[in-house]
Structure 1
Amino acid sequence: MPEFPAIICTVDIALLTLQDDALHVLLLKRDREPFNGSLALPGGYLHAQEDQSAEDAATRVLRDKAGIVSPYLEQLATFSGPGRDPRGWSISIAYYALLPAGVLAVDGTGRQLRPVAKLPALPFDHGRIVAAAVERVRSKSQYSSLPVYLCDEAFTLPQLQSVYEAVLGEPLNKVSFRRKMDELGMLEAIPGAQTSGGAHRPAQLYCLRREFRHALSMLDRGLSV
């Protein structure tokens, strides 16, 4: 029987957040070969002795390498082939995660947030993974509550609309947006919670209903109608 080389099996995570009203992705500086010193997505091998699933592995990698547990983590796609890793034939089960702005501490050296529209050259096929994650998020944002996971725990409706607009890259009609939020039924007003007056009238604060915190609500029609 011919002997075949072992296949490398990893997980990679595109963690997305908003900064300066634009989608950014977390990149870490690699500390080993291949591509030592290059910025790349958080990733690592599956640990057969401790990971019960690929999602467990992705959760572990985010916790150990980025120091966070994302409120939203979803499998994206499988990337595979003999040319994506110089060490040999490899499979990466890719995930994407969403995190509110300001939650993730970055130091500008080992951990960096880079705008998805202006990424440096990334090793392996991490550029393709980021592009696929951005496309998935923008597509789902047309009909689901997904962008809420980029918000703080409490937010106003104008703040939520700004998040949707930043993700979709286009302005939304205020009336249509609020009607869509009502149809989704995903928000609840926080009793007695409003923003401070300042230069504007106080605004009601909302949060995601408990039943939506681990699942998405989807409708057939998009937000632009």
Structure 2
Amino acid sequence: MDQVICTVDVVLLTLSADGLEVALLRREHAPFKGVAALPGGYIHADADADARDAARRVLRDKTGIEAPYLEQLATFSGAARDPRGWSVSIAYYALVPAAMITQAERSELRLASVDRLPPLPFDHAAIIETAVSRLRSKSQYSSLPCHLLGEAFTLPQLQRVYEMLLGESINKVSFRRKMTEMDMLEPADGQFETAGAHRPAQLYRLKPAFREQLRLLERGL
């Protein structure tokens, strides 16, 4: 009986002024050598405690990034998805600020708009589509978008991220009421952003309890 190929793939998402982007790497080996693809790799049964551990290792080894937030997305499997044979991939998605990708200094790492993907191998386009759909859906009722910002941010910056993901404007008063209701933010002591002649804006950060897990709303934004 042929052995099943077991891998993990990670959809590493970030946000730029142009919109939501995904990190891709050129494959070093066949099949699809030289083609841009998601960071992925085999599960190491002798070293990985579980699939999440494997995803963290693959992301770290291939991109140099330790993502603060990593969530299991879905399992993709079948005989047709990989020319080498029957395979199963446990897909995860991670959210990081754009600066974290820049600081990784990996020349082989490239960003592509999720709306204008290049030709991708395997079923990576479907995996990315699933991750983007999950992100946009959860952005309506959770703290998930916070992970696309740096450690500290202003409320207007956070509101803009929510608006970009949801594709619509949000009333400022309503947004701030929801942030208060979620009780997920705390002031970054003594930290303010100064911009031009405007009054310095208080910087906020996620409370420790919500840096690796989500804060959920009973009713969406």
TM-score by length of 1: 0.94
- Distance change >3 Å, CA 12–CA 103, structure 1 → 2: same
Tell me if 1:162 matches 2:133. Answer: no
- SS of residue matched to 1:104: helix
Aligned-partner Cα distance in 2 for 1:8–1:161? 42
Aligned-partner Cα distance in 2 for 1:149–1:211? 14
Give the partner amino acid of 1:49.
D
When structure 1 is superposed on structure 2, of 211-220 and 55-64 the one drifting more is 211-220
CA contact (8 A) 1:28 1:40 kept: yes
Give the partner amino acid of 2:90.
I
Q: Point out where structure 2 has 5 or more consecutive residues left out of the alignment.
A: none
Residue of structure 2 aligned with 1:14, choices 8, 11, 14: 11
CA positional deviation for 1:214: 1.4
CA positional deviation for 1:191: 2.5
Aligned-partner Cα distance in 1 for 2:189–2:89? 45
Tell me if 1:137 matches 2:106. Answer: no
Task: Map 1:1-225 onto structure 2 (within 5 A).
Answer: 4-105=1-102, 110-223=108-221
Aligned-partner Cα distance in 2 for 1:197–1:41? 37
Q: C-alpha deviations, 1:57-96, integer Å up to 9, x for none? A: 0000000000010010000000000000000000000000
TM-score by length of 2: 0.96
When structure 1 is superposed on structure 2, of 124-133 and 184-193 the one drifting more is 184-193
CA contact (8 A) 1:21 1:163 kept: no
- SS of residue matched to 1:27: strand
CA positional deviation for 1:101: 1.7
CA positional deviation for 1:138: 0.7
CA positional deviation for 1:98: 0.4
Of all paired residues, the percent bearing the same amino acid is 62
Give the partner amino acid of 1:6.
Q
Aligned-partner Cα distance in 2 for 1:207–1:54? 29
Aligned-partner Cα distance in 1 for 2:160–2:54? 33
Q: Point out where structure 1 has 5 or more consecutive residues left out of the alignment.
A: none
Give the partner amino acid of 1:191.
D
- SS of residue matched to 1:16: strand
Give the partner amino acid of 2:219.
R
Query: RMSD in angstroms over aligned alpha carbons?
Result: 1.3
Give the partner amino acid of 1:41.
L
Aligned-partner Cα distance in 2 for 1:210–1:102? 21
When structure 1 is superposed on structure 2, of 101-110 and 151-160 the one drifting more is 101-110
Aligned-partner Cα distance in 2 for 1:197–1:217? 30
Number of residues paired by the alignment?
Answer: 220
Give the partner amino acid of 1:130.
I
